[in-house]
Structures are given as C-alpha cells and as structure tokens.
Structure 1
Amino acid sequence: MSSEQQVLRRSIIVTFIIAAIGVGFGLMTGSYSIVFDGIYSLTDASMTVLSLWVTRLIAAGSVGQHSKLTERFNMGFWHLEPIVLGLNGAMLIGASIYGLINAIGSLLTGGRHLEFGWAIVYAAITIVAGCFMASYGRRANRRIRSSFLALDVKAWIMSVSLTGALLVAFVFGWAIQGTNLEWMSPYVDPAVLALISVVVIPIPLSTVRQALADILLVTPPVLRQHVDEVAERQVGKYGFLGHRAYVARVGRGRQIEIYFIVPTGAPARPLEEWDRIRDEIGEEIGGEGPDRWLTIAFTTDREWAE
C-alpha cells in the first residue's frame, strides 16, 4: 500500500508533466489561460516537493533517526508543516491574483485570438489526468489521513475544475467560429481566465487560516476540553488540588503539557507510582504515537504550573 511520501512523489511527477504540457500548449495556441493553468500546476508541484521533504523530516524525527538536523531540531519538525501549507496556499492565491490582473488587462485591450482545436485537446488530457490523480489521492488518504495529501487532493480537484471551465470556454469559442458571434472569440480566453482566477482566490484561504493558527499555537478548543476533562477526573481520583493544561496543534503534531498541583505534605509515592499515573492519564487522553508530545508534571508549587 502506498505511503504518504509515495503518493506525493507520484503526484509531483504527474503535475510536472501536466505543467510542462500546459505551458507548451499555451504558447502554441496563444492562450494565456492555458499558460496560467500550467504555471499554477508548476507552482503546486514545487510546493509538493517541499511538502515531501518535510514529511521525510517528520518521519525521520518520529523514528528517532540521528543526524545533524535532528540534533539541531530535537523537538521535532512538526512546526515546518503549517509553514509549508501556509506558503503553498499564499502562493496559489498570489498566482490567481496575477492571472486576474492579466485577464482584465487583456479584456481592456481587445482580447486575443487562439487555436481552439489544440486548446480543447489540452483541456481534455488534463481533465482525465486530474480526475485520476484526485481519485487516487483521496483513496490513499482514507488510510493515511495526512494534511499534505488532503491539500494535494484539493489542488487536483481545483485543477480539474479550472480546466473544466477552460474546456467549456474553448468549445464555445470553437463553436462560434464562422457565425455572427465570432466577434466574441478574442474575449473567450481572457474572460475565462478572469473567471477562474476569481473562483480560485478564496479556495486556499481555509488552509492558510489553519496554518496561521498552527504557527501561532492557537489552542484547539475541542482538544483543550478533552484534556481538561481527563485532568479533572484525575484531580478528583487522586485528591490533587487542581491542574493547569497547555495545549497546541502544530501541523500533525499535538503538544500537551499538564501540571497537577499536589497537596503539601501528601504521603510520599515511589517514582514507579507516579509513572503509573502518567501512563493512565496518557491512555485516557489517547492518540499515543510519534505525533503526540505529552508532558505530565506534579508539583506542590502553583508557580511552577503557571
């Protein structure tokens, strides 16, 4: 079965091929919308390469592989994931805004003529390849559950949608040749580019928003509530005075710190007993694995927990 890195690697190869075809067909047909589609795919592929590198770093840190990088980043590489996701979304938005500006400029100067036949061939090839890759990535991510793969699948769906709009426009432009509507022909390409850009701009916003939340260590309410509920049960069970919990989501990683306030003068417990309590709390919190960073401390001084 394919791993996260294998799926991303195959997606990169196909994306680069489609991007090269897009730029070539765009220059051959004189279509800026096809060139934009190719550049958009090229941008997405470049960011997927970076995503693949980050997944390798995260995997290496999770299994404890030692290298100069793991020595410098001994708390893991989770923080790189939201940075890459945010950068990816921002670049796709920027490319769309640039495409919109070019489209408006072209519409104001009378549009441009293009070869609709070859443009239709390109759109058909790209749609078939995009549908296959989106389906492949979605099936794989049902098991893997990766934010990178989810974004990659979203990118393929976006690509298919964009190219589908291009195909409709090109078929329309081809159909009006030799008719009373042929005067609209030069405006087909910039008009569809403007429409696609307007539609695409808001799509990566949710990814950028979540990435910023992870980078800024915004506490996930659901996870915080769950951790507090588990800690409160332990407070009542062992007679602690209270607790302080600190929770953050960084990419696929969950960072959880819990401090329990122990009464002064409470009966001494052997270290093995404290470790057993930690194991019990960890099991209740759940999600044990390489992407959970859990720290549990016991103290009689509230200042250590603040």
Structure 2
Amino acid sequence: MQAKLEQRALLISIVMTLLVAGLGVAVGLYAGSQSILFDGVFSTIDAAMSGLALLVSRLAVKEASRRFQHGYWHFEPMVAALNGSILLLLCFYAFLNAIRGLLSGGHPLEIGAAMLYALVVVIICSAMAGYLKRINRRADSEFLRIDHKNWLMAAMITAALLLAFIIAMLLQDTQLAHWTPYVDSALLAVLTLCFIPVPIGIIRRAMKEVFLIAPSAVDREVQAAMEGVMQRDGVLYYYSHVAKSGRGHFIEIHIVTCPDFSAGRGVIEMDEIREEISSRLSIPPQRRWFTVAFTSEERWA
C-alpha cells in the first residue's frame, strides 16, 4: 500500500513538474527572463530525477534476486546523490550567469508575463507541497520527503519572484526606473543562492547512506532493545552493527554466551530472544535485514 502511494504521488509530481518546466521555459524565453528560464530548466531536471526515483522506488519493493541478494535498497541513496549533484552544478552555473548579467548592465524584461507566470506557479507549487506532505504521512518515503521540500522551496522562491516583479513594475515610472534592467539578473543570483542549500542537504543525507554511516537513532534503539536480553543467564555481552541504505535498515547483532547457554531449551530460547529484540524495534520487518547470531567464542562475534 505504501509503495503504491509513493509511486502514484511521484507520477503526479513528475507530470506537474513537467507542466511547470514547460511553462517556465516558454515564459522565460518570451519575457526575456533568465530567472524564470532557470526555474524552468531546474524543474526539467527535477522531473527527470523524479522519473528515475520512480523507477528505483519500484525496484526497491521487489524481492531480492540472484544478482541483488540484498535487494535494491542501495539504489535509493545513489539516485538521491546524483539528483543533488546535478542540481548543485546547475545552481552554480546559473549564479555565474547572474553575476555576468549584473556586470554587463542587465537586460529589459516583459514584467506582465513574468508576474502572471509567477502567480500561476505559486498556486501549483503550494498545492503540490500540501498534497505530498499529506500523502507522505502514510507513505513515509524519503523520495516524497525530498519532493515535498522541492515543491515547498519552489513555492516560496516563486512567491519572492512575484513580489520582486511587482516592485519592478512599480519602479518603471519613477526616478529609479534605470534599475529595472538589473532586476532579473539580481533575482537569478538570489534564486540560486536560495536553492543551493536544497541539493547540499540531499547530497549530505545520501552520502551518509552510501558510506553506510550508522544512523544514531537506530543504534540507540538496538542498544535499548538489548538491555532486557543482557539480563538473561548465560548471556555475556554482544556486538551490534547497524546501517541504513534507502528505505532498508541492516541490523546485525552477535551475542556472546556461556558454552552451556540454552542447553535445556536449545534453539527455542534463541528464537525467543530474536522475537524479543524484534518486537522492540520500530522499523517495520519489510524494511529491515535483521540478523541475530549466537556464539560462545568471541572470535566469531
């Protein structure tokens, strides 16, 4: 159910992103606005990355195969890192163009068309941000979380563009009218600086998973789950290893025991311990690779 919600929401997001992208490129070229053109190109790349995310989300819910015996979860952070890297490079290139425009004296802008574009896009982006936030309460998807932030950021930035275009229109018949050619390049510079934290955040979170850095929240959860187990007779100590890759969590626990541990009950007691630990973990069983091993020799732990 969660996977279907995620995939449907991503598909709707892709369609709406392409609509905004096409509108941005068309209006940007017509109005001579670099900031709107950048917004359209940004949305086009975002749509392409969302399409890739949709493909990966379908892979991630499949069963493990002969070649991918741990499943397809690891593709999710790789796609997220690629997404963030491309968007970061686009922001950097657009910022350099904005500086060049300011240094060359700016350029005229068709403010009426730019204002209409900004108003329409603010409405679309706000509606999509609200929709994705509502859906992700049930889907709990990292892709939808990223997509929601992208739409929310787009709504806020486009609202700022609308305000700036209104100010530029008001300045046209005043003594400050000579500044209006600089408005678009200045907006592009501000726009890219506002967008840059988004891909940086995406890259940072994705690389944590690519490098299999232990998520502290999951590690604390495992430590708490083991407190009761350590009270059992014959259990000496344990080693735990946790990692997160996409929606998948990898949890390994190696418990060192006395040589005669569970001599009377055998495997039944070991399975009881596994069940006890499992019941104290908040991660759903379908999203974790969970292993609990027992040994009386530390070298195997």
Q: Name the TM tier (shorter chain).
A: over 0.9
Q: Deviations over 1:104-123 (max 9, x none)?
A: 00000010111111111111
Kindly indicate whether residue 195 of structure 2 is the aligned counterpart of residue 200 of structure 1.
yes
Partner of 1:271: 267
C-alpha distance in structure 2 between counterparts of 1:84 and 1:261, whole Å: 38
Partner of 1:149: 144
Q: Deviations over 1:101-141 (max 9, x none)?
A: 00000000010111111111111111111111111111111
Kindly indicate whether residue 244 of structure 2 is the aligned counterpart of residue 246 of structure 1.
no
Q: Deviations over 1:26-66 (max 9, x none)?
A: 111111111000001111111111111111011123xx6xx
From 53, 58, 61, the equivalent of 1:59 is: 61
Check 1:288–1:18 CA distance in 2 against 1; reply closer, same or farther (3 A cut): closer
Amino acid at match of 1:71: R
From 119, 126, 130, the equivalent of 1:124 is: 119
Tell me how large the CA RMSD over aligned residues is: 1.6
Amino acid at match of 1:80: F
Partner of 1:94: 89
C-alpha distance in structure 2 between counterparts of 1:188 and 1:3, whole Å: 41
Q: Which runs of 5+ in 2 are unaligned?
A: none
SS in 2 for 1:72: coil
Given that 1:169 and 1:189 are in contact with CA atoms closer than 8 Å, whether structure 2 keeps it comes out as: no
From 28, 31, 40, the equivalent of 1:29 is: 31
Q: Which runs of 5+ in 1 are unaligned?
A: 65-69
Partner of 2:43: 41
Amino acid at match of 1:198: L
Q: Deviations over 1:204-232 (max 9, x none)?
A: 32222111111111112222122123224
SS in 1 for 2:231: helix
Amino acid at match of 1:172: I
Given that 1:246 and 1:258 are in contact with CA atoms closer than 8 Å, whether structure 2 keeps it comes out as: yes
After TM superposition, the structure 1 stretch with the greater mean CA deviation from structure 2, 260-269 or 189-198, is 260-269
Q: Deviations over 1:134-166 (max 9, x none)?
A: 111111111211111111010001111221122
Amino acid at match of 1:149: L
Equivalent positions of 1:281-292 (< 5 A) are 281-292=277-288
Given that 2:126 and 2:152 are in contact with CA atoms closer than 8 Å, whether structure 1 keeps it comes out as: yes
Amino acid at match of 1:15: T
Kindly indicate whether residue 299 of structure 2 is the aligned counterpart of residue 297 of structure 1.
no
After TM superposition, the structure 1 stretch with the greater mean CA deviation from structure 2, 216-225 or 13-22, is 216-225
Amino acid at match of 1:53: L
Kindly indicate whether residue 211 of structure 2 is the aligned counterpart of residue 216 of structure 1.
yes
SS in 2 for 1:259: strand
C-alpha distance in structure 2 between counterparts of 1:166 and 1:147, whole Å: 28
C-alpha distance in structure 1 between counterparts of 2:148 and 2:260, whole Å: 57
C-alpha distance in structure 1 between counterparts of 2:95 and 2:219, whole Å: 41
Given that 1:282 and 1:288 are in contact with CA atoms closer than 8 Å, whether structure 2 keeps it comes out as: no
